C-alpha cells in the first residue's frame, strides 16, 4: 500500500500470516520483533478463531489437572502489533498474492471493512 509523505511515495510491505496456531503466532511474533519501530511494514494475521490453543497441554485438560482456559490465549494479547482478522480462509492465490475469506466477522458487521469485496467475501492483498 503506497504511503505519501513529503511528496515522496513510499511502498509499504504487507505481510499476511495465515492461521493462528503455532506456526502463525510464532511467525507473527518474530516479525513484530524484527520490524521493531519500522512503519513501512505491516503484519496482518487471518485465523478462524480469535484465540491460540496450546495443544501440548490438552492431555492435562482431559485428565482434569488443568482447566481448558489454561491452554487458550487471545491472539490480540499475544500479538500487540499485528492486525488480527477472524475469518474463514476460502482460497489462496499465491501468484496474485490474494487471499479470499468469508466476510461474516465482528469487524465487518461493526465497521466499514476495507477488505470486503462482496456481501460474503473479503480479499487481502499481500506484497
Ligand atoms: C493433543 C496434542 C498434543 C500435542 N503435543 C505436542 C508436543 O508435545 N510437542 C509438539 O511438538 N507437538 C505437539 N502437538 C502437535 C502440535 O500442536 C502441532 O504440530 C502444531 O499445532 C501445528 O502447528 P500449525 O500452526 O501448523 O497448526 P495449528 O496449530 O493446527 O494451527 C492452524 C491454525 O490455522 C487456523 N485455520 C485452519 N484452517 C483455517 C481456515 N480455513 N481459515 C482460517 N483459519 C484456519 C486454525 O484455526 C489454527 O489457528 C500436539 C498436538 C495435539 C493435538
| Nearest residue by C-alpha to atom 47 in ligand 1 | 48
Q: Which atom of ligand 1 is nearest to the CA of 88?
A: 42
What are the CA-CA distances from residue 120 to residues 46, 97, 102, 105, 113 (Å)? 16, 20, 6, 10, 12
Does the reported pTM lie above 0.75?
Answer: yes
Ligand 1: residues with CB < 6 A are 19-24, 47-49, 55-56, 58-59, 88-89
Q: What is the dihedral of CA 98, 91, 103, 105, to 10 degrees?
A: -100
| Total domains in the fold of the chain | 1
pLDDT at 2 over 60: no
Sign of the dihedral defined by the CA atoms of residues 51, 108, 12, 10, in that order: negative
Residue 47 structural domain: 12-125
pLDDT, tens only, 48-95: 999 999 999 999 999 999 999 999 999 999 999 999 988 899 999 999
Position 67 in a domain: yes
pLDDT, tens only, 37-47: 998 999 999 99
Q: Which atom of ligand 1 is nearest to the CA of 47?
A: 44
Distance of CA 88 from the midpoint of ligand 1 (Å) = 16
Position 20 in a domain: yes
Eight-class DSSP state of 19: -
Grid coordinates belonging to 40: 513501512
Question: What are φ and ψ of residue 36, in 5° steps?
Answer: 55, -125
Amino acid at each position: 500500500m503506497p504511503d505519501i509523505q513529503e511528496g515522496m511515495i513510499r511502498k509499504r510491505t504487507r505481510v499476511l500470516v495465515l492461521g493462528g496456531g503455532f506456526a502463525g503466532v510464532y511467525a507473527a511474533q518474530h516479525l513484530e520483533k524484527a520490524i521493531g519501530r519500522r512503519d513501512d511494514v505491516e503484519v496482518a494475521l487471518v485465523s478462524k478463531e480469535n484465540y491460540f490453543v496450546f495443544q501440548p497441554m490438552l492431555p492435562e485438560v482431559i485428565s482434569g489437572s488443568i482447566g481448558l482456559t489454561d491452554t487458550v490465549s487471545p491472539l490480540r494479547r499475544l500479538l500487540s502489533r499485528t492486525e488480527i482478522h477472524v475469518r474463514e480462509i476460502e482460497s489462496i492465490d499465491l501468484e496474485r498474492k490474494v487471499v479470499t475469506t468469508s466476510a461474516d466477522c465482528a469487524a465487518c458487521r461493526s465497521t466499514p471493512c476495507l477488505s470486503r469485496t462482496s456481501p460474503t467475501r473479503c480479499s487481502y492483498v499481500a506484497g
